[in-house]
A and B are shown apart, each in its own frame.
Chain A
């Protein structure tokens, strides 16, 4: 158990809809990162939040957005869902910085139909 929890575990949405995924970080961690993992691929970095501010972003369009709350939990929002957004979405928390161990949640499996 990493102490990082994600909800929901599975989700089915229709193309064009919007989705919000949630992540509770491990106690004492102020940094949260989000990843998209397609089947057979490594995780792709979406963005990172540090103390409620976005401080890094991968190559994802603006319809992928996020929030971090004062308790360091986080949300990933995806608008105008496309079929290719179907993937496992992973959240990871870390103490701070880019060179500290990241602890992953078990992910949310999103299917867009």
Chain B
């Protein structure tokens, strides 16, 4: 079992829809949590840090549930420009672990 698991995807959703990404991590000692976005043939870029209290940035909301070892990302009113791969990232001790990523296609 991989230490960070994400929905396999791809997700194909119409423009304007709400999309939810799920991520689970297996090591309870994990310390910091992030969502990164990676466009095709581009480098990953930080989308949001994730906190237990939850955080929101415009159309994007991230949640962390330490008891369930679960991280989520919600995108509301999706835009064509949201099409990308979304990567869940967890840090632990001296390691940074990326999930495999979930590809999102927003359909016009």
Binding site for B on A (CB under 8 A): 2, 33, 35, 40-45, 48, 55-58, 90, 98-99, 101-107
Contacts and interface: CB of A to CB of B under 8 A. Distances in A.
A104 B46 CA distance: 9
A28 B4 CA distance: 30
B44 A90 contact: yes
Contact of B87 (A42, A98, A107): A42
Contacts of A42: 4, 87, 98-101
B91 A43 contact: no
Given A99-B31, A99-B91, A45 B43 contact: no
Nearest to B4: A42
Contacts of B43: 2, 90, 104-107
Q: In the complex, which range does the number of interface residues on chain B fall in?
A: 20 to 34
Please list the 8 inter-chain residue pairs (A to B) with the smallest Cβ-Cβ separation, ordered nearest first. Answer: A56-B94, A104-B43, A42-B98, A99-B32, A98-B91, A101-B46, A42-B100, A43-B98
Interface of B: 4, 31-32, 42-46, 49, 87, 91, 93-101
Given A42-B87, A98-B31, A35 B98 contact: yes
A41 B98 CA distance: 9
A58 B95 contact: yes
Nearest to A107: B43
20 contacts: A2-B45, A33-B96, A42-B4, A42-B99, A42-B101, A43-B87, A43-B98, A44-B98, A45-B95, A56-B93, A57-B94, A98-B32, A98-B96, A99-B91, A101-B46, A102-B46, A102-B96, A104-B43, A104-B45, A105-B43
A48 B92 CA distance: 13
